Amino acid sequence: MPVVGLPFEDVVVELWSRELAWLGEDVAWFDAHTHIGHHDPDGFEADPQELIAALDVAGQQRALVFAMQEPDGYRAPNDWVLRSCVESNGRLVPLARIDPKAPDAMEEARRCLAAGARGFKLHPRSDGFVLPHPVVEELVALAGEHRLPVLFHAGRGIPDLGDPIVHLATEHPGARLILAHAGISDLGLLAPHVGRLPNILFDTSWWHVSDLLALFATVPPGQILYASDMPYGGPRYPALLMLRCARAVGLTPEQVADSYARPGASEDDRVCVQPLQVRIVRPAAQIITGLVMGGERHPGRPGGLIRRVGQEDSDLLPVGLVVVDTAKGRPPVVHRVQEPVLQRNETPVAGDPAIVRAGVRVGL
């Protein structure tokens, strides 16, 4: 049985193919959000072979996988995930699903790590817990010790996670906290913090264009991960949507490939901090249209408005977009600066901790 939704994606194949042509060839896609299971109360189910078949249809290579909701607990489902990943010859990478309310939650987490799990999946809605939660804090601390990810459901149906996530990311910088479904439950709350907390990441397993545009326009590209949410849909539509939205906010194919599709990433690529060189460039009009066309005030020119990009004095950046060059052979990172700066005024910007953090590369 194919992944649910896969046959219905045929209508987007032509559009999807155009976006792939823009991205370029030889990109090794890594899907950060897939499930297997047969007992979820919502009626969806999938086997690992079905996920791999769907990856093949989309020309994608690898995926994170974890258990769907299991009313009888997660020990046996976690074992199935771990075994399936071994049998996949590296195509599938396991996360252990943990219910923090279970009395053996931490024992199960440690058992799964020892057996090869690469992190944890937590689902506040389906497993019935809220943040802050003392066991979640322990799980994140454990992940931080091993520099591993913790994937949180952050879609509909849950209270906000914003403040607890900021706390967890600050207290446990080694943990990589991935907010699923474009973080729609909390993107507005987290947006002011993600620039200084590069261990907060978002996946793109969401279907609403406006939410994804907000994500791409708000979060540095190195903190966004491509994801499909299989089997709740196929892989081609979410790939199309991700590429279309990335293009709409002015990202380049190199940024998309590096931050989302992750070409050439090794299985042990957790975090790569590269030497940085800062240069300030004229911002892409698509990203700052609202700021520029709205007449952002010039701090040194009382009553004066910053002119539009492309006009005289266009080297003045209303809210600067700084290109942080990483090591040779890796694409640059585009990062925002909160105060207006001149293109030629690079030295103060280079010392800004937020800019330095923008050069951090996060992998799984």
Q: What is the pLDDT of residues 177-213, one digit of tens each?
A: 999 999 998 888 898 898 889 899 999 999 999 899 9
195 and 252 belong to one structural domain: yes
For the beta carbon of residue 338, count every other beta carbon within 10 angstroms.
11
Please list the residues that pair with 305 across neighbouring strands: 297
Enter the tokens of residue 314. Answer: 């266009």
* 321 has a pLDDT exceeding 70: no
188 and 207 belong to one structural domain: yes
145 and 208 belong to one structural domain: yes
> What is the mean predicted confidence (pLDDT) over 317-342?
42
112 and 222 belong to one structural domain: yes
> 133-167: per-residue pLDDT in tens?
999 999 999 999 999 999 999 998 787 799 999 99
Question: For strand 120-122 and strand 96-97, is the pairing parallel, antiparallel, or unpaired?
Answer: parallel
Evaluate whether 95 touches 122 at the Cβ level (below 8 Å): no
How much is the pLDDT for 159? 79
99 and 146 belong to one structural domain: yes
Query: Which is higher by pLDDT, 346 or 208?
Result: 208
| Domain presence at residue 1 | no
| Domain presence at residue 295 | yes
Which one of 268, 301, 332 terminates a domain?
268
> 287-296: per-residue pLDDT in tens?
333 333 333 3
> What is the mean predicted confidence (pLDDT) over 24-33?
88
Which one of 211, 234, 268 terminates a domain?
268
Lowest mean pLDDT among 38-52, 145-159, 178-192, 308-322: 308-322
Sign of CA dihedral 289, 308, 341, 258: positive
| Domain presence at residue 2 | no
164: helix, strand or coil:
helix
168 and 65 belong to one structural domain: yes
How much is the pLDDT for 306? 30
264 and 302 belong to one structural domain: no
Lowest mean pLDDT among 3-17, 204-218, 341-355: 341-355
Closest to 284 in 3D by CA, of 196, 347, 198, 221 = 221
259 and 279 belong to one structural domain: no
How much is the pLDDT for 291? 30
How many whole angstroms separate alpha carbon 256 and alpha carbon 251?
Answer: 7
Provide the number of structural domains found in the chain.
2
| Domain presence at residue 120 | yes
194 and 332 belong to one structural domain: no
Query: Which is higher by pLDDT, 273 or 202?
Result: 202
259 and 323 belong to one structural domain: no
Which one of 206, 240, 268 terminates a domain?
268
Model confidence pTM above 0.85: no
284 and 245 belong to one structural domain: no
pLDDT > 70 fraction of the chain, expressed in percent and rounded: 70
* 347 has a pLDDT exceeding 90: no
200 and 317 belong to one structural domain: no
How many whole angstroms separate alpha carbon 152 and alpha carbon 123?
Answer: 6
Strands of the chain (E only): list them. 30-36, 62-67, 92-94, 96-97, 120-122, 149-152, 176-179, 200-203, 224-225, 271-273, 277-280, 316-317, 321-325, 333-336, 341-342, 360-362
Q: Show the domain range for 328.
A: 273-362
Evaluate whether 51 touches 64 at the Cβ level (below 8 Å): no
How much is the pLDDT for 57? 95
How much is the pLDDT for 1? 59
Evaluate whether 320 touches 341 at the Cβ level (below 8 Å): yes
